[in-house]
Chains A and B, each alone.
Chain A
Amino acid sequence: MSFDWMKIPYSLLTLFIVVNYGFLLNALIQKIGARVGRRHGIPIWQNYVDMIKNYGLRSSITHGVMFYLGPVFRLSGGVGLLLFVPTIYGSYMFSNLSFAGDLILALYFVFFGTLGMALGAGESGHPHAAIGITRGLSQMTAAELPFGLAVFSVALQYQTLSVTEIVAAQQGGILNWTLFTNPLAVTAAMLGFLGSMMRPPFDVVLAPQEIPIGPPTEYHSSYLALMQTNRAIFPVAKIVIYMNLFFGGADDWLTFCFKVFLIYLWSAFVGVVFPRFRVEQSIRWFLVWAVPLGVLSIVVV
């Protein structure tokens, strides 16, 4: 097998950009949320500081092998998800490692981190961790469904499972975006998107006031730092998929940043407005409001 070794530094560059953008974006979104509450909010670099602090903590404990590996799984999931999808359309540099697989790979790799994290949190032996995981997994099954349906609808629409080809099909003007050529699918997917971002009204998984704080209850110091890094990468990686599938992808980093920000803002926007659902409520909500749209999009495409 001939391997293009230049892929590695290029991918690391993508990773570097996305990590930093993710840190800043998270802080920005948090600040926007704070401003809605008429607060000043955190400094824009606060997430970096927190991460350094967490790496700087001197002691740590471990509950066992899976506990130790959980954050590694988590971050591998985020990094892998990012690298399996081309970030910038038409750019060889930032096509990352997408030669390994297509859209389906990305869709299923989302679960890699989730599963690993769930296992790690599970080994901590903390009941809140287990409760958080049951909530998270339960909600995920419902939230991923409209997204899955929308993805399939889009794949049918363009008759391909390759992300690059899907983006290619949307080039040539904003009206070629899936957003306008297949609005049902996009609506369904964007509703599902809300459920996967761990923001209100779908944040009962973490529920700090109730089961502090769900799966990561026992995680701290460098484990937490890894998870924070993933927190920066994962939403962006996920949004990249949305962007590529539904919003025409990005030709350059500027468009990329702008589109990612807007898509992220959508969940923040909903999040500051709505209170929290219980798990069974959110499951029903997705099944009643989002899934029918997804089904419809598959039927009419």
Chain B
Amino acid sequence: MSALYIIAVGLGSAFVLGMLNERQKNLGYVITLAALTVMSAISAQWLIIFAATGAHPIDIFTAGTQPPFAINLRMGVIESALTLLISLTGLLSAIHMGNALVARGRRAMAVLVIAIMALCGIVLTRDIFNLFVFFELIVIATGGMVLLSDDERAVSAGFKYLIVSQFISVLLLIGIIFAYHATGTLNIDGMAEQGASAFALAFFLMFIAVIAELKPFPANGWALDIYESSHPGFSAIFSAATGTAVLFAVDKLLLIGGAEWFPVASGVGIVTFVGANLLALPQTNDRRLLGYSSIAQTGLILTVLGQQDILGQNYLFIAGGLLLAHAVAKAGLYWLSDLVASRQLTAWAALKERPLLVFAFVTFVAMLCGLPPFPGFYAKWELAHALAAEGRMAMLALILFGALLEAGYLFRWFGYLIKRESDEKVVCSATQAIPVFAAVIAGWVLGFVWGELSVTRFGLNNLLLTLPLLFALSFLLIEWAPAWLKNTVAIGGMVAFFVMTYAEYDPLRLIFAVIFLIGGAITLLASYSAHGRRVGFYPAAMLMYAGMIMLIRTTDSFGFFAAWELLTVGSYFLILRGKESEPHALSYILFSLGGAFLILAGFALAASAVPPAPTFSLANLAALTAPVAPWVFVLLAVGFMTKTAAIGVHIWLPGAHAEAETDVSPMVSGILLKAGLYGLFVLLMAMGKQQLFGIELTHALLWIAALTALLGNLMAIFQEDGKRLLAYSSIGQMGYAVFGLALMNHLGWLMALMFVINHYIYKAMLFLSVGGVAKRTGTRDMYKMGGLITLMPLSFIATLIGIIAVSGVPPLSGFGGRWIFYNAIMTSDVRMPMVILFLAGPIAFLYLFRLIYTIFLGQLKDEFRRVKEAPFWIVLPQMIYVALLMIFAVFPGIALRRVDEYLNQFFPEGGLGWSGNEITSAYGYWNPVSIMIIICVIFGVLLAWLMFVDRKAQKVKQFNIVFSAEAPYRPETTHFAWNFFAPYRKALGFLVLPLATMFWGTITGLLHTGADIARRFYTGNGQTYAFHFLLFVIVAYAIRIGF
């Protein structure tokens, strides 16, 4: 059926509706739905035709003549897709607004149909004046639709909109008529042939008017009022469909304007993207926030349109991906917002009782943030690479900055949804659910389509076809199952995957694979202790593990980045599940996304120098040379270090790890942190030493690592919260590992690997045991515990072994790490950072002793006299870890020897010698078996002696202590635990001022203050908005054309 029928059906049904009896409301509604269905069907039919056959666009001539004498419409693959999007949005919104439409009657329905028709018209038409007419129709229709809302304030919002629209139409008309005067045609293609330079001012007027329809920042106050007050069904159209149509109109105008107008589009776009996102930060009203987000997204797409000169034909892939993701997600969110009774963001917490709706929300937020596997992700990747390839790093930086802001408020919102309390009930009728889930399905389908497109166009990878991700996503389908079943499936899947693939890894990756898969499976054993269905846990956890295993399996930059994002998102959901984790999860995702964006920028920059873009083998990083290479290094290194929580970007870690659930903490600490280390491994393996401004970057890394180790350890000793203590300890341990890597020699790397293995084992073990204690005692404050050794002996043993291992005291495996460390720094010529690391070493004793003493030793408290040992499933993995630790302590060779050989290809010099049980380096030697035997023998002999001479010792109770001849008052006042290292704080407390927290706090504070100041310009007065608009035009004119 001809595309003209879209218009015809729209107009015709509107007329029919107009002729209906006022009371035939249901009939009218049926007609409306039918009309919209037909319009959608036509669009869909054309889309299928074009997509299947790759046919050329078809021009439809009206009035029987060719342009310029008559209006012509064009239907192509893009047009069909857009009209389908618009009409489907319309249809779904109509379903969604069913009650409101029926209540308001046929006029409202007619206006809706007209609006959709006009939007399709904008997409289809190739005539500039026709464009104007459709625009005016939309203005009128919008004016009508706004009144659908129950919100009284919508009326004033609509009026403001009309005021500004009047100005826009004046500009547009004047522009059109002068453009016509100059070219003698109204046909867009005709005008394009002549070029806009002949009628620059006229074109400027048209262009700026159309852009104004996109509600560019800061001339957009009027539009936000509409978003906030109108019916969410209409807001969905206003955001998704109107935005789409107008963007396409801009695209058409850019045909006329040509390359010299691209910068205008880019400039307006990027200012809008950043500005609107910034202003969205302080919003508390959900719909207004969505409005800002819509504006920001259109701004981003406008930017992409403006970058056509470098994007070439890819701009459709990028802009399309962004546009579709935005439209689907935004429409979905608006529809979803109707289910929430109150308008504060926090009121969305009501949704959390409905897992499906939460899933929908997650899908939409992920789409908006451009997370894999949604279209925005592929688009973002392409865009970044294209921008970097042309050296437009400033633009890329702005885009990423804006995207980070957007992620900030969206994830904060998601945090509210999951973590806040709401006493409102969500009532979700079928008509409200259908559109939302249609959008969800559309989102996933689009993700698949864009994945396929990325394969065919760029040779990227369709993430939705990768096995680990599919495995993770499949847990969504079995969410109804009990937790133990899902846990078994998860463990089985991970082990099976390892068995299937272990032969494919080189020794280095094998270690990571073992930790990620087998290690992950062991930590999952602890999850058997959870009851119920544990909705949301397994998809998130499996997503994280999928990301991690994809990370080490991939060889190209795209796969790496995609995996990185997946594991970030998965771990975010996991962390968010913790009790008080809302702010910490937010800072985690922000730092992680910030880091991910740096990685993206780094890859993009690298790709610009190592073809083939847009994805390249990671090994090719080695081919990078001077001007680019150090920057790539810096970007990637900083990106990875946000994950290893290097000092400065560490502030997310303590809260995130401490607040996470008992079995999640070991995952995110013991396993997830290794992803960052793996990234650094890959980076350094490929790029080695780089210099920037004469600074050896690995030296800078050494400094950062040493400071991280020192300050992480120092901060750990002042924690009262056991899990926080462990979290800070992780920061310190990661400092050691990064230090080893940055040493850039054989033993340094071996040490880093040793830390990878050790840290996984003992940190997972310690987190489990402390988590188990916290679970039993109901608190994480260590000073509230004490004396639990007899009640929780197994947890105590795990902790004891753990702290001996962490501190590096022989004979346990921590010593191996220290031994390799000393041998490694012997060959390094950088000495000052080592001094810092030396200081960090003994400090570990302080917090480790505090951990075990204040929890297990000292005085048992009244209320914990009856606590039981931690649940079996939490103790079991700990015991496995104890065994592993012992084995690894005595036979480090089983893991290290192969890696040692493997590292020879990078650093032929300075490996270890393995003769029998003895391990030798160029400087020293170490015989773990002998050490273990000697120490055990000495210890055993002395113990036997003591047991002989002291065989009659009377076991006494906790208050049988010499208390200066007094009696202890209560266990609480006798247990010395709070502010345990007070003298240390007096001496060195100044080192642990929370400078990084203050720094980031100031930055976010400044952003919020700035946004709040900017908000004051949005006075709510329609005239002010009109004035903003005129000012915007003038400024744009001044910048573009000059006075």
In the complex, how many angstroms separate the beta carbon of B794 from the nearest chain A beta carbon?
13
Which of B221-229, B422-430, B845-853, B1024-1032 faces chain A? B845-853
Residues of A within 8 A of B942 (CB): 72, 75-76, 79, 226
In the complex, how many angstroms separate the beta carbon of B492 from the nearest chain A beta carbon?
39
Kindly state whether residue A137 has any CB partner on chain B within 8 Å: yes
Kindly state whether residue B800 has any CB partner on chain A within 8 Å: yes
Instruction: State whether B954 touches A226 (Cβ < 8 A).
Output: no
Kindly state whether residue B52 has any CB partner on chain A within 8 Å: no
Instruction: State whether A118 touches B853 (Cβ < 8 A).
Output: yes
Known: A72-B939, A159-B923. A105 touches B931 (CB 8 A): yes
A116-145 Cβ-contact flags toward B at 8 Å (1 or 0): 001100111111001101110110111011
Q: How far is the CA of A124 from the CA of B798 in the complex (A)?
A: 20
Contact partner of A141 among B808, B825, B845, B958, CB < 8 A? B845
Kindly state whether residue A240 has any CB partner on chain B within 8 Å: no
Contact partner of A283 among B807, B852, B935, B984, CB < 8 A? B984
B971-996 Cβ-contact flags toward A at 8 Å (1 or 0): 00011110011111011100000000
Residues of A within 8 A of B955 (CB): 61-64
A278-299 Cβ-contact flags toward B at 8 Å (1 or 0): 1111011001000100110011
Residues of A within 8 A of B963 (CB): 126
Instruction: State whether B917 touches A101 (Cβ < 8 A).
Output: no
Which of B104-112, B133-141, B826-834 faces chain A? B826-834
Contact partner of A104 among B849, B924, B984, CB < 8 A? B924
Q: How far is the CA of A217 from the CA of B962 in the complex (A)?
A: 8
In the complex, how many angstroms separate the beta carbon of A43 from the nearest chain B beta carbon?
24
Q: How far is the CA of A114 from the CA of B845 in the complex (A)?
A: 10
B interface residues, tally (CB under 8 Å)? 79
Instruction: State whether A104 touches B976 (Cβ < 8 A).
Output: no
User: Which of chain A's residues 133-181 have a Cβ closer than 8 Å to chain B?
Assistant: 133-135, 137-138, 140-142, 144-145, 148-149, 152, 155-156, 159-162
Contact partner of A130 among B858, B918, B988, CB < 8 A? B858
In the complex, how many angstroms separate the beta carbon of A223 from the nearest chain B beta carbon?
7
Instruction: State whether A133 touches B853 (Cβ < 8 A).
Output: yes
Instruction: State whether A122 touches B804 (Cβ < 8 A).
Output: no
Residues of A within 8 A of B58 (CB): none
Residues of A within 8 A of B935 (CB): 76, 80, 112
Contact partner of A226 among B846, B921, B946, CB < 8 A? B946
Kindly state whether residue B445 has any CB partner on chain A within 8 Å: no
Q: How far is the CA of A55 from the CA of B845 in the complex (A)?
A: 32
Q: How far is the CA of A79 from the CA of B977 in the complex (A)?
A: 31
User: Which of chain B's residues 784-817 have a Cβ closer than 8 Å to chain A?
Assistant: 787, 789-790, 800, 803-804, 807-810, 815
Contact partner of A137 among B831, B849, B917, B939, CB < 8 A? B849
Known: A111-B807, A118-B853, A125-B857. A100 touches B954 (CB 8 A): no
In the complex, how many angstroms separate the beta carbon of B766 from the nearest chain A beta carbon?
15
Known: A62-B953, A149-B838. A278 touches B934 (CB 8 A): no
Instruction: State whether A63 touches B956 (Cβ < 8 A).
Output: yes
Known: A119-B853, A138-B846. A71 touches B946 (CB 8 A): yes
Kindly state whether residue B27 has any CB partner on chain A within 8 Å: no
Instruction: State whether B976 touches A284 (Cβ < 8 A).
Output: no
Residues of B within 8 A of A124 (CB): 961
Known: A127-B976, A135-B983, A159-B923. A64 touches B789 (CB 8 A): yes
Contact partner of A298 among B831, B943, B977, CB < 8 A? B831
Known: A60-B950, A100-B934. A161 touches B923 (CB 8 A): yes
Instruction: State whether A161 touches B822 (Cβ < 8 A).
Output: yes
Interface of A is mostly: helix
Known: A222-B949, A283-B987. A140 touches B925 (CB 8 A): no
In the complex, how many angstroms separate the beta carbon of A101 from the nearest chain B beta carbon?
5
Residues of B within 8 A of A65 (CB): 789
Instruction: State whether A105 touches B819 (Cβ < 8 A).
Output: yes
In the complex, how many angstroms separate the beta carbon of B975 from the nearest chain A beta carbon?
7
Q: How far is the CA of A111 from the CA of B853 in the complex (A)?
A: 16
Q: How far is the CA of A125 from the CA of B958 in the complex (A)?
A: 6
Residues of B within 8 A of A61 (CB): 953-956, 960
Q: How far is the CA of A112 from the CA of B961 in the complex (A)?
A: 26
Q: How far is the CA of A206 from the CA of B980 in the complex (A)?
A: 17
Q: How far is the CA of A128 from the CA of B992 in the complex (A)?
A: 27
Known: A79-B942, A102-B926, A112-B809. A299 touches B832 (CB 8 A): yes
Known: A122-B853, A125-B787, A298-B834. A115 touches B804 (CB 8 A): yes
In the complex, how many angstroms separate the beta carbon of A200 from the nearest chain B beta carbon?
17
Residues of B within 8 A of A162 (CB): 923-925
Residues of B within 8 A of A114 (CB): 845
Q: How far is the CA of A186 from the CA of B938 in the complex (A)?
A: 32
Most buried by B among A1, A134, A142: A134
Kindly state whether residue B438 has any CB partner on chain A within 8 Å: no
Instruction: State whether A100 touches B931 (Cβ < 8 A).
Output: yes
Residues of A within 8 A of B939 (CB): 72-73, 76
Residues of A within 8 A of B857 (CB): 66, 119, 122-123, 125
Q: How far is the CA of A124 from the CA of B962 in the complex (A)?
A: 10
Residues of B within 8 A of A209 (CB): none
Q: How far is the CA of A123 from the CA of B853 in the complex (A)?
A: 8
Instruction: State whether B838 touches A112 (Cβ < 8 A).
Output: no
Kindly state whether residue A97 has any CB partner on chain B within 8 Å: yes
Instruction: State whether A152 touches B822 (Cβ < 8 A).
Output: yes
In the complex, how many angstroms separate the beta carbon of B460 from the nearest chain A beta carbon?
48
Kindly state whether residue B2 has any CB partner on chain A within 8 Å: no
Known: A141-B843, A159-B923, A218-B961. A127 touches B954 (CB 8 A): no
Instruction: State whether A97 touches B930 (Cβ < 8 A).
Output: yes
Instruction: State whether B983 touches A59 (Cβ < 8 A).
Output: no
In the complex, how many angstroms separate the beta carbon of A133 from the nearest chain B beta carbon?
7
Residues of B within 8 A of A221 (CB): 950
Contact partner of A115 among B809, B926, B943, CB < 8 A? B809
Residues of B within 8 A of A92 (CB): none
Instruction: State whether A119 touches B852 (Cβ < 8 A).
Output: yes
Kindly state whether residue A25 has any CB partner on chain B within 8 Å: no
Known: A134-B983, A283-B984. A155 touches B826 (CB 8 A): yes
Contact partner of B931 among A101, A126, A131, CB < 8 A? A101
Instruction: State whether A105 touches B810 (Cβ < 8 A).
Output: yes
Residues of B within 8 A of A83 (CB): 934, 938
Q: How far is the CA of A152 from the CA of B916 in the complex (A)?
A: 28
Kindly state whether residue A69 has any CB partner on chain B within 8 Å: yes
Known: A80-B934, A115-B845, A141-B842. A104 touches B818 (CB 8 A): yes
Q: How far is the CA of A99 from the CA of B916 in the complex (A)?
A: 13
Kindly state whether residue B839 has any CB partner on chain A within 8 Å: yes
Q: How far is the CA of A281 from the CA of B857 in the complex (A)?
A: 28
Residues of A within 8 A of B823 (CB): 104, 161
Kindly state whether residue B695 has any CB partner on chain A within 8 Å: no
Kindly state whether residue A103 has any CB partner on chain B within 8 Å: yes
User: Which of chain A's residues 86-114 have a Cβ closer than 8 Å to chain B?
Assistant: 97, 99-105, 108-109, 111-112, 114
Instruction: State whether B849 touches A115 (Cβ < 8 A).
Output: yes
Q: How far is the CA of A71 from the CA of B953 in the complex (A)?
A: 14
Q: How far is the CA of A15 from the CA of B943 in the complex (A)?
A: 17
Q: How far is the CA of A127 from the CA of B961 in the complex (A)?
A: 10
Instruction: State whether A283 touches B845 (Cβ < 8 A).
Output: no
Q: How far is the CA of A99 from the CA of B260 in the complex (A)?
A: 78
User: Which of chain B's residues 677-735 have a Cβ closer than 8 Å to chain A?
Assistant: none
Q: How far is the CA of A133 from the CA of B858 in the complex (A)?
A: 12
Q: How far is the CA of A254 from the CA of B839 in the complex (A)?
A: 36
Q: How far is the CA of A198 from the CA of B977 in the complex (A)?
A: 24
Name the residue on A nearest B973 (C-beta): A127
Q: How far is the CA of A131 from the CA of B950 in the complex (A)?
A: 27
Kindly state whether residue B929 has any CB partner on chain A within 8 Å: yes
Known: A100-B927, A280-B984. A125 touches B845 (CB 8 A): no
Residues of B within 8 A of A59 (CB): 952, 954
Q: How far is the CA of A101 from the CA of B839 in the complex (A)?
A: 23
Name 10 interchain pairs, CB-CB below 8 A, sorted by A: A1-B917, A61-B954, A80-B934, A97-B930, A101-B930, A112-B809, A118-B853, A127-B975, A127-B976, A279-B983
What 4 A-B pairs come out closest when comparing CB atoms?
A161-B924, A102-B924, A122-B857, A280-B987
